[in-house]
């Protein structure tokens, strides 16, 4: 899912990222082909990849028990803060929220 999210350097590293609307048909086709595993990370387009992934799951009315979403939370998202990154329980819970 790193190809999905709000494009632009200020939002991450991928200027070519697909917005929600631009990626909708790609995600739909993946579901039609039986793909049910989606990998993302908090740093992909500064979290917008995760947001779009969740919106697709909701908007397509997918059974959450039939979809696997993998993500990573180690990356620093709140620079300069003691728990702004890493795998402490506090940071993992903050990233889940």
Residue 56 designated active-site: no
Using CB atoms within 10 Å of the CB of residue 50, give its burial: 0 to 12 exposed, 13 to 18 middle, 19+ buried.
buried
- The predicted model gives 34-62 an average pLDDT of 94
Q: Which carries the bigger pLDDT value, residue 75 or residue 51?
A: 51
Rounded to two decimals, the pTM is 0.83
Give pLDDT tens digits for 10-24.
666 778 899 999 999
Q: Which carries the bigger pLDDT value, residue 79 or residue 37?
A: 37
Give pLDDT tens digits for 53-92.
999 999 999 999 999 999 888 888 878 888 888 888 888 8
- Catalytic: which of 20, 37, 44, 56? 44
């Amino acid at each position: 899912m790193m190809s999905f999210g709000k494009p632009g350097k200020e939002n991450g590293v991928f200027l070519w990222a697909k917005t929600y609307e631009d990626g909708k048909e790609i995600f739909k086709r993946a579901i039609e082909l039986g793909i049910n595993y989606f990998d993302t990370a908090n740093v992909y387009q500064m979290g917008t990849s995760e947001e779009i992934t969740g919106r697709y799951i909701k908007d397509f009315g997918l059974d959450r028990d039939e979809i696997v979403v993998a993500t990573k939370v180690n990356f620093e998202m709140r620079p300069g803060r003691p728990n702004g990154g890493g795998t402490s329980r506090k940071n993992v819970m903050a990233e889940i929220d």
